[in-house]
Structure 1
Amino acid sequence: MDPLGNLVDWIAIYGTLGLVAIGLAERFLPALPSYGVLVAIGIATDGAVWSLHTAVIATTVGSFMGALGLYFLVRALGRTKSVRFLYWVGRGVGLSQSRIEWILSSLRSRERALTILSQLISTVRLILPIAAGLLGTNTLRFVSGVAVGIALWNGLFIAGGYLAVLAVPGINSSALALKILVLLVVAEVLTAMVWRLQRRYSMCLNPGASKR
C-alpha cells in the first residue's frame, strides 16, 4: 500500500500543471501532508514526466500562489473577520490561541526573518500568510520572504525523496513520509518546549509583560 505514490501517479497525468495544482492545494487542505507529497514527488522524479528542478519550481509556484491569495484575502476582509479566520485556521492545524498571539508578536519585530523561517515549520507555515495580512506586513517583504521559505521547504523534501530512491530503489513513499512525520513531530515538540522556556524566562525578566 502506497497512498502517496498513488497520488503522485495521478499528479503525473497532468504533468507540470499537476505539480502547480498540488502546491496550491496544500495551502487550503491542512489534512494534506505537504512534506509527504513532496517526498513522493521527489521519489517519482526521473526526468520522464518532470525533472528535479521542474518539480521544485512548479510546486513552489503553486504554494506561493495560495499563500499570496490568503494574504490578500485577509487584507480585504478587515481586522475583525481576519482575527476569527486566523484562530479558526490555527485550531485546524493544532495551534493554540496563545501560540498564535506569540507568532503575531514575534512577526511584528522580525518580519523578514520569520516570514522565511515560518515556512519551514509544518503548522506555522499555513497560518503565516493570514498573520502577515492581518498585521499589514509590507507586500514586497512578504512576497520575497515567503518565496524563499517555500522554495527551501519544497526543495528540501523533493530532494530528500529523490536521493532516497537513488539510495533505496523501489522505496515506499508513504513509509518514508511516515518516518519523516515522526522526525517533524519531535522537532516541533522540541521547538515548543524551547519557546515556552524562553517565554517564561522573558516574563521573569519583565514581570509586567504577562499582564498586558
Structure 2
Amino acid sequence: MLVPTPAAAPPTDGVAGWVVQVMDAVGAPGVGLLVGVENLFPPLPSEVILPLAGFSASLGTLSLVGAIVWATLGSVVGAWALYGLGHVLGRERIVRLLEKMPLVDVDDMLRAEEFFVRHGSTAVLVGRVVPVVRSLVSIPAGLERMPLLRFTVLTGLGSLVWNAALVLAGYALGEQYGLVAHYLEYVQYVVLAAVAVGLAFYVRTRLRRRRAGEREASRDEGESHGRDDTTRETARR
C-alpha cells in the first residue's frame, strides 16, 4: 500500500503552478484536460502534470483513482485528435502544419512515423512511454489507417500504465514529486533497449525462416530438374 510522504503546499508559479490552478479549478477532470492538451502540444510535459496530480492527491485535493482515470481518458481523446489529423490531412499537409507550429520539430514526427512503420501495433502500445513519440505516434497511425478500435485499445492500455505509474509515483513522493522526471529518463532508456532487443530477435527469426524457405525451394527445384532429366532420358530410349 502506498503511503504518501508528508507534503508541503503545491507550487504556485511557472508551468507547475498553472497545472495546479487548472486542477484546483476543475478537479480530477482537469488532469484529463491537461493530458489531452499535452498530447496535442508535446512541449507541455506529462512528466510534470502526472506526478503533480499524484502530489495533489496525497494532499487530499484530488481523488487518486479519479486522477488516473481522467488522465487516461485525456490521453485517449488527445490521441484520437492526432489520429484524425493524420487520417484526414495526409502526410504532406501534416508536415506543412507542423512546420508552422511553434516549439514542434517536424523531425520528431518523422521519427515517430519511422517508429510506427517498424513496430506497427507495438509502437502505439510501447510508444506511450517513449518521449515525444508518445504523443506523435498517433499521427502515423492515422496516416496508415490503423483500425480505430485497435488504436483505441492499445492507446488506452499503454496510457493507463504510463499515467498510473507517474501519478502513483507523485503520490508516494509527495513534495519530492519532481524526482519522478529525473529518474524517468533512465527508465525510458531501459524501455528503448528492450524494444531494440525485441526487434533484433524478431528480425533474426524472420531471416532464419526466410533462409530455410529458400533452401527448401532450392532443394525442391533440384529434385524437379532431376526428375525432368530422368524423364527425357527414358523417352529417348
Size of the alignment, in residue pairs?
194
Could you tell me which residue of structure 2 aligns to residue 34 of structure 1?
46
> Is the aligned partner of 1:17 residue 2:56?
no
Relative to 1, partners in 2 of residues 1:194 and 1:61: Cα closer, same or farther, differing over 3 Å? same
2:177 alignment partner AA: S
> Is the aligned partner of 1:172 residue 2:176?
yes
Relative to 1, partners in 2 of residues 1:136 and 1:188: Cα closer, same or farther, differing over 3 Å? same
Relative to 1, partners in 2 of residues 1:157 and 1:86: Cα closer, same or farther, differing over 3 Å? farther
> In the aligned structure 1, how far is the partner of 2:45 from the partner of 2:111?
24
1:68–1:129 contact (8 Å) kept in structure 2: yes
Q: TM-score, normalising length from structure 1?
A: 0.73
Deviation at 1:68, TM superposition (A): 0.4
1:18 alignment partner AA: G
Specify every segment of 5 or more residues in structure 1 that has no aligned partner in the other structure, as ranges: 166-170, 207-212
Deviation at 1:60, TM superposition (A): 1.3
> Is the aligned partner of 1:43 residue 2:55?
yes
- 1:162-212 residue CA offsets vs partner (Å, 9 max, x unmatched): 1222xxxxx2333x144234425644774687699789989x989xxxxxx
Relative to 1, partners in 2 of residues 1:159 and 1:132: Cα closer, same or farther, differing over 3 Å? same
Specify every segment of 5 or more residues in structure 2 that has no aligned partner in the other structure, as ranges: 1-9, 211-237
Relative to 1, partners in 2 of residues 1:193 and 1:70: Cα closer, same or farther, differing over 3 Å? closer
1:123-202 mapped onto 2 (5 Å cutoff): 123-165=132-174, 171-174=175-178, 176-184=179-187, 186-187=189-190, 190=193
1:144 alignment partner AA: V
Could you tell me which residue of structure 2 aligns to residue 77 of structure 1?
89
Over 6 Å off, 4+ runs? 195-202
Relative to 1, partners in 2 of residues 1:92 and 1:201: Cα closer, same or farther, differing over 3 Å? farther
2:126–2:158 contact (8 Å) kept in structure 1: yes
Relative to 1, partners in 2 of residues 1:104 and 1:36: Cα closer, same or farther, differing over 3 Å? same
> In the aligned structure 2, how far is the partner of 1:99 from the partner of 1:25?
19
Deviation at 1:56, TM superposition (A): 0.5
1:28–1:66 contact (8 Å) kept in structure 2: yes
Deviation at 1:155, TM superposition (A): 0.7
Q: TM-score, normalising length from structure 2?
A: 0.66
Could you tell me which residue of structure 2 aligns to residue 66 of structure 1?
78
1:155 alignment partner AA: A
More displaced, 17-26 or 43-52?
43-52
